Amino acid sequence: MSAPVSPDAAAATLLAGPATDLAAAVREGRVSARAVTQAALARIDAVDPVLNAFTDVTPERALAEADALDAARAAGQALGPLAGVPFAAKNLFDLKGLPTRAGAKINRDRPPAARDATLVERMNAAGAVCLGGLNMGEYAYDFTGENRHDGRSANPHDPAHMSGGSSGGSGSAVGGKLVPLALGSDTNGSIRVPSSFCGIFGLKPTYGRLSRARSFPFVASLDHLGPFARHVGDLAATYDALQGPDADDPALADAPVTPTLATLDSPGDLKVAVLGGWFARQGTPQAYTAVARAAKALGATRTVELPEVERARAAAYLISMAEGAALHEGRLRARPDDFDPAVRERLLAGAVLPAMWIARAQIFRRWFRDRALELFADCDVLIAPSTPVPAPRGGQTTFVLDGREMLVRPNIGIYTQPISFIGLPVAAAPIPTDDPLPIGVQLIAAPWREDKALQAARVLERAGVALAPEPVL
């Protein structure tokens, strides 16, 4: 007869598995939300000194939320779809009682937030338990996961390597099994890059789909918020919980809520193609092997091309620099020495860009979006690499792409920037390699068709092609 499983052991086991299974166990009373929260906090205490994913751990808040869930269940109340699931948020999301850092030294002088960000509130409303704020690149202007003020968030598959940015703490925390779910942001690739490096699933929704209210901006016309998870079902359940109207975000589209979890396993005849051209150059063999494996599993036999992708990436850079400089002008004048010099110099360069360049970039943006939409006339999903390489080593400044030595920091996003530039939804899927470090692919869909991107990710997960590998810690 086997020994009985202790509540603590049961909570730790559930914590390591799918979030939807954990939530079902909490709703059914097989484990308490408090026990799960305590297990997550213990995991953070044990592993985060190496990963440095968290900048703010909030045990009092977390335990109070967990106790409220347990009390509600004891009173016979129904619990939400994410009941008792621990999560954390990139520290550009407002968390009540904490200054919203946005990865910056300057922001620590801000007063504590009076209210949570809308997406944090929606996670709580679905029953998820907030454990704190996560490390990120300064003002989200980063692809590496390295922060001059808070240190770098490390890769959960080899801490000597990068987690990716700017949502590096989010990628590290989910990939390292500190929390099953996390929230991040993606302006030029900051959900998809950490997903690729840390071996997890991520979703960059359509621009205007999820509320950005009470989050610190970077580039208003490019900023997206979205979730990370280790399982596609968890990603879909979280995305479903985050949808809805919000008068506090004027950029939020007036689009109906479209649940995705219920149709996740009913993809129908998905029409999938591989993006060639720009997306088939400059990467390493690992990047293209990952695309080939995904294409085979999804039955993709066609290759299609987007025109002028290099110009789209350049236009995205110009818009990012100009809007970022406008946002930070006052801080650049008042406290220039408190910026990471690499961030400061790019923002200062943005401040002197000719207005004509920005106007032309915006005109081109519409043209490029129209060309992308033409591809979806007879295609549901496009496959492309997420990153040209698996995670570089921490502190690495150059790498070789297509026979040329290039700077790491600006060139990690060569495949992600052209897609967020036009606001398309993307599910990022992790593809294990023969090396300890994974790499990811982008599953790109037409606007408002997050369901198709998630269905494609589910097909890959079911086939064993896309999965979140076990962390080393």
Question: Token match 């407002």: residue?
Answer: 94
Q: Which two tokens stand for residue 131?
A: 């454990």
> Is 166 a known active-site residue?
yes
Bridge partners of residue 203, in order along the sequence: 427
Q: Are 280 and 295 in contact (CB under 8 A)?
A: no
Strand 86-90 relative to strand 181-186: parallel, antiparallel, unpaired? parallel
From the candidates 90, 177, 204, 452, which is the catalytic residue?
90
Taking the C-alpha atoms of residue 4 and residue 287, their distance in angstroms, rounded to an integer, is 45
Output DSSP code: residue 382: E
State whether the Cα torsion 102-239-145-186 is positive or negative.
Answer: negative
From the candidates 32, 153, 163, 166, which is the catalytic residue?
166
Q: Are 466 and 430 in contact (CB under 8 A)?
A: yes
> Is 90 a known active-site residue?
yes
**Phi, psi at residue 369, to the nearest 5°?**
-65, -40
Q: Which two tokens stand for residue 265?
A: 């396993």
Taking the C-alpha atoms of residue 421 and residue 424, their distance in angstroms, rounded to an integer, is 8
From the candidates 153, 170, 190, 211, which is the catalytic residue?
190
Helices (H) and strands (E) in the chain, counts: 15, 15
Q: Which residues are catalytic?
A: 90, 166, 190
